[in-house]
Structure 1
Amino acid sequence: MKNISCFKLNNLTLSAFLFMFSFTSTSAFSEDSTAKDEWKFTLKNAYINRDFENQNLKDTGSWSQAASLFYKSKMLETPLNIADQPLTVGLDASIQYAVRLSSDKHIADTVLPFDKEKQSQAPDYLKHGATLKLGYDKFLLSIGELWLDLPVTAVDTSRQLLTSYWGTNLKSELTDQLYAEIGRVEKVSPRNEEDFRKFSFTSNGKTEYSDGLNYIDLRYQFSPDLKGEYYYGNMEDLYNKNYLGLEHNFKGKNYVLNSKFKYFNAQADGNNFNIDAQNIGLLETLKVNNHTFGLGYQQIIGESAYPLPDGFLPETYFINWNATGFFKKDEKSYHFIYGYNFKDYIPGFNAAVKYVYGDSFETTDSKKNHESESNIILNYNFQQPHLKGLALQYIRIDYDVKHGNDFGEDRLFVNYSKKF
């Protein structure tokens, strides 16, 4: 595992990081620091089926059952003291297992591992990892399996087993307002694979690999209602990504208006690919009593589509991530969202509908194209004490494109979680 001093963060040097981290903080660092051991057991039954209108394409999907166990230890003091502050240590671990309940469709469904040579879906699969944690004062160093909710490296919960990453990161609340994190992620275990492997990127049939992702993430709370975030990531030999986000809440007597502005810039790192893409997004969300209304706009600018790593890693930092992404070269997309919480009638039940329309992009043979996606999302969390932790979710996706393949997709999840 490479030393943090090997980071290639353009003009941001290690000395700048050390200077920044030398500030003291009066606020306690809470993330990943627990006062007691925590265990979480989950069960997930997932039925996913995508039905293409093109009869020449095979429908994809599967039905599977998972059982997973996640452990997070409390931080224990060691005999080592630095400037009267003890060095603490902890260990986290995870094990995820899923078994296929449906018959083998002999086609990759992005849910289960797929053997290309045998053209076969795996009957089951197992993922596991562990993390060593070292704490000092307001700092936490994690080495091993990482669960990251950041640009490029999201934890995908939309299918069966969870995506995780392998590497090292250091995080701290530097002040009451400023949070900082630096890290190096060397490998990824995608949602439909067992093992950790190198990052890769494929474009026009060409695949290249990266030795790791070096990143810095800064979050600042300007005021109780306004916060900002800056992220820089260097995917070695593939591309560099910058992200800047602002989020503001305006609270009225009976409503809350949430405004999100997001800017992404991706540029090639090296000569393997021609990558030049920017993503500008704005989402306004109004919550009035049990109602939620959302209106958003997203535009891709530059000489290429916005790049995503191989392994079905979603960019959940987009203003509104969808099944089909809407990140094609020159694409403009318009987002409409409505949700309702039925807590006054059926406690635990909420529903949402989303519609996205994208245009101004072309096919590979220069035909003008447009696409749309509509989602219906239903969630129910059982309220009965003896069923606590049990939840249902149904998602219906309908995708239409002028030049391409339309499809309808159903996702049904039965989830159970228990912490102890």
Structure 2
Amino acid sequence: MNNALSKGFPVVPRLAVCIAASTVLNPACADIFQDGKASLELRNYYFNRDFRQSGVAQSKAEEWAQGFILKVESGYTDGLIGVGFDAIGLVGIKLDSSPDRTGTGLLNTARGPGGRAEDEYGALGATGKLRMARRTLKVGTLLPKIPVVMYNDSRLLPQTFRGAWFNIADIDNLSLDLGRLDQTKLRNSSDNEDMSVYNGVSRNIRLGRHSSSDRFDFAGATYRWSPALSTAYHYGELEGIYQQHYLTLNHKWTIGEGQTLSSDLRWARSLDEGGSNVDNSALGAMFTYSVSGHALGLGYQRMSGDTGFANINGTDGYLVNLVQINDFGNQDERSWQARYDYNFAALGIPGLTFMTRYLSGDDVSVRTRTTAGKEWERDSELGYVIQSGPLKNLGLKWKNASARSNFSSDIDENRLIVSYSLALW
């Protein structure tokens, strides 16, 4: 259980009264329940990653698991300062695994006798929140989704963080964020831990005095110039390891009836903090043309500097070429992407979608090679969500990927995901 709310925060006494009292006896608390919502997501996940072309000791990673994600979001009490709470419950259950094919990220990193994955794992998180006008403070378990810290939800259970987040939306079209995170629970763990920087493949990051940190500070401003155009600046600092400045621009141009061109531009500057060698500039651009259910996207990404991109370990780095297996964020890497999507609603089959993309990266600085590294990845997804009837909201998705590299493992991968979301109130 996340204990952030038990450390003397003033939210707790008033909140406890509201939960204990009925809304009839305490009308001021009525909005907590009337404006709240709760949902239960069931996620059945099969994951198979084949390494055999690389000749490594473990030929594949293959596991099957069932996940349960319970989310509760209350409303706020009446008054100048409204009080509320959120809660999240996570449970993962092993359906199939073996010591010689672990490592999918579905099951707990902790191992039992014989190196076997534990039969189940889970976590509970609670968040207290205060609201005054259009200002909100949340303290406790958080799922941040901003450019400098993007929680990972690509496996059975989502990654969570512990901290405080203050959002101000008093000024029309402007949103301000300020916060601090002190712990993270990875997507395949039950425990909170300090944060570190992702340093896989050829990021080539050397740490200084600190290998991990219990402090990530962030701030940001997002301004919507029009319904079609927004810009943002965000800052993040993992104390003792790195700091990052991030600029983004998003625009959607309506060319004609049923035709749009979307632009997604990103630039990040990551610098050392505390003696590390982090030094990276990341430029990314994605342009997507959509018409009659079709969407064609073209993307370009360029890394420069003494290291690759810096992001908190376990998170999704906010990069346009972050895809199923790779993010193409290695030192000096330049990469491009071609993507095609089709929504079958245009043919009268709502809920059925298809995506395929191809990415190629080169010019990677690989410390163990005298020549530049190259890699490519090909992904496809086919998904369907039932739209009506007793199985409404039941989703089925197949994700297939192949990745080849001259400096890392070759991978073939399949994921089968069956999900169902149930609104409890």
TM-score range, shorter chain: 0.7 to 0.9
1:91 aligns to 2:94 (yes or no): no
Q: Which residue of 2 aligns with 1:182?
A: 178
1:49-88 matched pairs, under 5 angstroms: 49-52=48-51, 53-58=53-58, 59-77=60-78, 86-88=80-82
After TM superposition, the structure 1 stretch with the greater mean CA deviation from structure 2, 377-386 or 39-48, is 377-386
1:286-305 matched pairs, under 5 angstroms: 286-305=289-308
* Residue 382 of structure 1, aligned match among 381, 386, 398: 386
1:396 aligns to 2:400 (yes or no): yes
1:64-143 matched pairs, under 5 angstroms: 64-77=65-78, 86-106=80-100, 107-115=102-110, 119-143=115-139
Q: Is contact 1:65–1:101 with CA below 8 Å preserved after alignment?
A: yes
Q: Which residue of 1 aligns with 2:41?
A: 42
Q: Which residue of 2 aligns with 1:215?
A: 218
Cα distance in 2, alignment partners of residues 362 and 153 from structure 1: 25
- 1:40-70 deviation per Cα after TM superposition (whole angstroms, max 9, x unaligned): 1110000011001223331113100012211
Amino acid at match of 2:377: E
Q: Is contact 2:166–2:178 with CA below 8 Å preserved after alignment?
A: yes
Cα distance in 2, alignment partners of residues 370 and 115 from structure 1: 34
After TM superposition, the structure 1 stretch with the greater mean CA deviation from structure 2, 56-65 or 234-243, is 56-65
Cα distance in 2, alignment partners of residues 303 and 168 from structure 1: 33
Q: Which residue of 1 aligns with 2:338?
A: 336
**TM-score, structure 1 as length reference:** 0.86
| Structure 1 residue matching 2:390: 3-state secondary structure | helix
Q: Which residue of 1 aligns with 2:288?
A: 285
| CA 202–363 in structure 1, closer or farther in 2 if over 3 Å, else same | same
Cα distance in 2, alignment partners of residues 127 and 115 from structure 1: 14
Cα distance in 1, alignment partners of residues 198 and 262 from structure 2: 36
Q: Which residue of 1 aligns with 2:327?
A: 325
Sequence identity percentage:
27
Amino acid at match of 2:78: E
Structure with more of its chain in strand, by fraction: 1
Displacement after TM superposition at 1:211 (Å): 2.1
| CA 279–35 in structure 1, closer or farther in 2 if over 3 Å, else same | farther
| Structure 1 residue matching 2:193: 3-state secondary structure | coil
Amino acid at match of 1:154: M
Amino acid at match of 2:88: S
What RMSD over aligned residues (CA atoms) do the two structures have, in Å? 1.9
Displacement after TM superposition at 1:114 (Å): 2.2
Q: Which residue of 2 aligns with 1:417?
A: 421
- 1:92-120 deviation per Cα after TM superposition (whole angstroms, max 9, x unaligned): 11101010100323533222222369633
Amino acid at match of 2:322: W
Structure with more of its chain in helix, by fraction: 2
Q: Is contact 2:148–2:246 with CA below 8 Å preserved after alignment?
A: no
Displacement after TM superposition at 1:90 (Å): 0.3
| CA 158–202 in structure 1, closer or farther in 2 if over 3 Å, else same | closer
Q: Is contact 1:174–1:180 with CA below 8 Å preserved after alignment?
A: no
Cα distance in 2, alignment partners of residues 375 and 35 from structure 1: 43
Cα distance in 2, alignment partners of residues 164 and 244 from structure 1: 24
Displacement after TM superposition at 1:372 (Å): 0.3
Cα distance in 2, alignment partners of residues 132 and 56 from structure 1: 47
Q: Is contact 1:66–1:96 with CA below 8 Å preserved after alignment?
A: yes
Amino acid at match of 2:329: F
- 1:219-249 deviation per Cα after TM superposition (whole angstroms, max 9, x unaligned): 0011222100110011110100110001111
| CA 318–404 in structure 1, closer or farther in 2 if over 3 Å, else same | closer
1:8-27 matched pairs, under 5 angstroms: none
Displacement after TM superposition at 1:128 (Å): 1.2
Question: Gaps spanning 5+ residues in structure 2: where?
Answer: 5-31, 200-204
Amino acid at match of 1:302: G
1:226-241 matched pairs, under 5 angstroms: 226-241=229-244
| Structure 2 residue matching 1:325: 3-state secondary structure | coil
Q: Is contact 1:303–1:329 with CA below 8 Å preserved after alignment?
A: yes
**TM-score, structure 2 as length reference:** 0.85
- 1:195-234 deviation per Cα after TM superposition (whole angstroms, max 9, x unaligned): 1111123657867111211111110011222100110011
Cα distance in 2, alignment partners of residues 410 and 309 from structure 1: 26
Q: Is contact 2:198–2:310 with CA below 8 Å preserved after alignment?
A: no
After TM superposition, the structure 1 stretch with the greater mean CA deviation from structure 2, 290-299 or 217-226, is 217-226
After TM superposition, the structure 1 stretch with the greater mean CA deviation from structure 2, 54-63 or 390-399, is 54-63
Cα distance in 1, alignment partners of residues 186 and 172 from structure 2: 35
Cα distance in 1, alignment partners of residues 341 and 206 from structure 2: 40
